[in-house]
């Protein structure tokens, strides 16, 4: 394929991503009963593929979904999606859906469903407009609250996201780039596709509860340790974020992204902070050097 929008895998075959569908009776559609994960590819290399697969398998186990493919087969499928699309920089998605209820009805017992694996690759994207990656993002603290863990386990990467959608409308209406949501207890949680960090007195802090623990979030902890920066989780409020010396996002869709404005207030002097910029550079330099990378080509031969 040339000038591809992406390539998908479903039911044992590869096809253009725009032709891949989920049936309207699948609980993935009717109940958002589906888990997923997304791994980035940069210059032909998966980044932290093992971590993304481990989280995906954990999500499946927690939601009692059974993958129909082995680990080697999934790696091969993801690599094939990227390779067939001709991408050197991409996002590879993996999903496990509940599958239609027995008899094809809209209701039934989930234990009778045949779980399905779907994958696809699309061009690499940034969760914040790309032109803001270096200059800094404008984040909006939404009034919409994040669904609590007692209702939806946020450690599972899932599509129960009406709270995030409502918050995105709030951010868009305010002219911001993206929202961050508070918990029902009033503490910072996360945004659509990213974790949030603040830096004060050379200490990097990030929320620790009611959120998905991002793979890039894990990466930042490692980068901070390498750089001699203390990094920790703690309960953070909206006031903590608005009055931070520095702030940034960690995300598969952009790495380390500076935040220079929260609601109607500038962070620090309104420019990306020194520590944030150093972490951002270290992240991309280490990726370019092959840190935690798996070549796509290696996975293409994993079944031989």
Domain ranges (residues) in the chain: 7-123, 130-288
- Return the higher-pLDDT residue of 247 and 3: 247
> Mean pLDDT across the stretch 278-301?
96
pLDDT of residue 304: 40
Alpha carbon 124 to chain centroid, angstroms: 12
- Total-model pTM: 0.94
For domain 7-123, say whether CATH 3.30.470.10 is its number. Answer: yes
DSSP per residue, the chain: --S-S-EEEETTEEEEGGG----TTSHHHHS--EEEEEEEEETTEEESHHHHHHHHHHHHHHTT---SS-HHHHHHHHHHHHHHHT-SSEEEEEEEE--PPGGG-S---GGGS--EEEEEEEE---SS-GGGTTT-EEEEEEEEEPPPTTTS-TTS-BS--HHHHHHHHHHHHTT-SEEEEE-TTS-B-EETTEEEEEEETTEEEE--SSS---HHHHHHHHHHHHHT-EEEE----HHHHHT-SEEEEEETTTEEEEEEEETTEESTTSS--HHHHHHHHHHHHHHHTTTTEEEHHHHHTTT-
116: left (phi over 0), alpha (psi -120 to 50) or beta: beta
> Mean pLDDT across the stretch 59-71?
96
181 pLDDT higher than 80: yes
Residue 38 CA to residue 248 CA, distance in Å, equals: 21
169 pLDDT higher than 90: yes
> Mean pLDDT across the stretch 285-296?
97
Average pLDDT, the chain: 94
pLDDT of residue 303: 45
Start-to-end C-alpha separation, the chain: 24
CA dihedral 55, 59, 64, 70 (to 10 degrees): -40
- Return the higher-pLDDT residue of 30 and 92: 92
> Mean pLDDT across the stretch 40-65?
97
Superfamily name and number for 130-288:
D-amino Acid Aminotransferase, subunit A, domain 2 (3.20.10.10)
pLDDT of residue 50: 98
21 pLDDT higher than 50: yes
What phi and psi, each to the nearest 5 degrees, are found at residue 224? -65, -40
302 pLDDT higher than 50: no
Q: Of the ranges 56-60, 137-141, 299-303, which one carries the lowest mean pLDDT score? A: 299-303
Reading the block at residue 23, the tokens are 């049936």
pLDDT of residue 291: 97
Query: What are the pLDDT digits (tens) for 226-256?
Result: 999 999 999 999 999 999 999 999 999 999 9
């Amino acid at each position: 394929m040339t000038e591809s929008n992406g390539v998908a895998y479903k039911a044992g075959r590869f096809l253009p991503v725009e032709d891949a569908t989920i049936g309207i009776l699948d609980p993935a559609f009717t109940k958002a009963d589906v888990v997923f994960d997304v791994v980035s590819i940069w210059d032909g290399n998966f980044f932290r593929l093992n971590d993304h697969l481990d989280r995906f398998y954990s999500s499946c186990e927690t939601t009692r979904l059974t993958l129909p493919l082995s680990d080697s087969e999934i790696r091969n499928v993801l690599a094939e999606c990227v390779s067939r699309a001709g991408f050197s920089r991409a996002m590879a998605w993996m999903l496990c859906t509940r599958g239609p209820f027995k008899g094809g009805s809209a209701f039934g017992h989930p234990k009778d469903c045949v779980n399905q694996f779907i994958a696809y690759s699309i061009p690499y994207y940034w969760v914040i407009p790309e032109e803001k990656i270096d200059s800094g993002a404008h984040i909006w603290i939404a009034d919409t609250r994040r669904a609590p863990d007692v209702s939806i386990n946020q450690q599972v990467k899932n599509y129960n996201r009406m709270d995030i959608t409502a918050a995105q409308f709030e951010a868009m209406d305010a002219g911001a780039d993206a929202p961050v949501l508070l918990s029902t207890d009033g503490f910072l949680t996360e945004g659509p596709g990213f974790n949030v960090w603040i830096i004060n007195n050379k200490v990097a802090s990030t929320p620790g509860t009611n959120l998905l623990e991002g793979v890039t979030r894990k990466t930042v902890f490692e980068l901070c340790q390498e750089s001699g920066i203390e990094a920790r989780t703690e309960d953070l409020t909206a006031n903590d974020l608005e009055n931070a010396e520095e702030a940034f996002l960690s995300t598969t869709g952009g790495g380390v992204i500076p935040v220079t404005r929260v609601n109607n207030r500038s962070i620090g002097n309104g420019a990306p902070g020194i520590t944030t910029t150093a972490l951002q550079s270290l992240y991309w330099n280490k990726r370019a050097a092959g840190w935690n990378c798996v070549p796509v080509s290696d996975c293409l031969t994993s079944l031989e």
